[in-house]
Chains A and B, each alone.
Chain A
Amino acid sequence: MSQQRHPLFMPLIFVGGLIFGFGLGFSHMARPEVVLNFLQFEDFGLLFVMGGAAVVTGIAFAVVPRLFDRAPLTGDTYGRRLKSFDRNILIGGAIFGVGWGLSGICPGAAYASLGVGNVTILWALAGMFVGAYIQGYWRSHRTASETSPTGAD
């Protein structure tokens, strides 16, 4: 799909990111302190952020495929985000949980945090790239050394 993209593809992605990032700023999710306050049971507002967002996507993912056949800018059919379940969901989720609970920041909120002026968040972003590289390096080599066709999600 990379060749011959619709001229509005990138602008639309940018506008979507703009709204997404504005929402993360407005909801204070770009502030690790506010996320930590949720995890420490001092402010349960985060539930409304995740819930509010999931309600909007839930309605769209249910309704849009019934109204339209294909996405105008890619020609792709509308699917839902369904990933296969395996133990990696639990292992990865638990590792992410420790990191999120320690730092109060997740990837999207970290990008937004940079936008609200929080240059200190570069520590977290650097860490995320290091972490992504470590797992990618390890999994690339493990896949290459394995001959059995298991695993690749």
Chain B
Amino acid sequence: MVTELFAPALYESLFPAGISRYAVGGLLVGLGAVVIYLGTGIPAGASTFLESTLSYVSDQSRFQRYVSSRDWRVVFTLGIIAGAFVYALTFQSGLVSSGLYESGTTGQLYDLGGVSLWLTDVQPWRLFLGGILVGIGTRIGKGCTSGHGVCGVGSGSKTSIVGVITFLIVAIGTAQVVMALGVSP
């Protein structure tokens, strides 16, 4: 790897798990978005699903405006879940391995019918409270890491670039404060 040539120690500290699993995974995330774009012309994002799905149970005008796309957004989300499960069946379970894939040490692996599944150690209150803020913020801010970060930045959208810089900086600050307060995991 070219990046390992400049300073192995620095590389090791910046990328303790290497870069290939991240780069390959990222290329696949992009490819998934491109497949949908090629066939339909839609630059898809993941967070609209939250509001479009609420239109099934709520008459609020903010949700009803997504009625025409709510069915395919459910299918997109089911596809994401299924795709991640295929990863769990193959690489996470060790059935398939590759020099490009580095398994991790985070969280807990557990076995269910021969499939290695994974559980986070991050505390539920962090997930729930963080989730509420993610739900509010992504919808007010017109997109999330996939809509702004992948499709928006890929579109060269200044709005999305500003959005990404905003949530990245705030997220880094938040995570640093949470860590400094001794909250772990």
Does B95 have its Cβ within 8 Å of any Cβ on chain A? no
B50-91 interface (Cβ within 8 A of A): 50-51, 53-54, 58, 60-63, 68, 71-72, 75-88, 91
A20 touches B80 (CB 8 A): yes
A23 touches B79 (CB 8 A): no
List chain B residues, Cβ under 8 A from A136.
51, 54, 58, 60, 62-63, 139
Q: A22-B84, A102-B133, A102-B174 are in contact. Are A153 and B26 (CB under 8 A)?
A: no
Which of A1, A80, A83, A96 has the most chain B CB atoms inside 10 A of its CB? A96
List chain B residues, Cβ under 8 A from A37.
106
Tell me the bound Cα distance from A139 to B141 in angstroms.
13
> In which size bucket is the chain B interface?
35 or more
Tell me the bound Cα distance from A89 to B142 in angstroms.
7
A127 touches B134 (CB 8 A): yes
A13 touches B72 (CB 8 A): yes
Q: A83-B159, A91-B141, A117-B88 are in contact. Are A101 and B150 (CB under 8 A)?
A: no
List chain B residues, Cβ under 8 A from A33.
104, 106-107, 120-122, 185
Q: A31-B107, A80-B43, A98-B170 are in contact. Are A52 and B30 (CB under 8 A)?
A: yes
List chain A residues, Cβ under 8 A from B106.
28, 31, 33-34, 37
List chain A residues, Cβ under 8 A from B168.
97
**Which of B43, B75, B131 has a CB less than 8 Å from the CB of A61?**
B43
23 A-B pairs whose Cβ atoms sit less than 8 Å apart in the complex: A9-B72, A13-B76, A20-B80, A21-B81, A26-B91, A54-B154, A56-B26, A58-B154, A60-B34, A80-B43, A82-B159, A83-B142, A83-B157, A83-B160, A89-B141, A92-B137, A95-B136, A100-B145, A102-B174, A111-B80, A123-B124, A128-B50, A140-B62
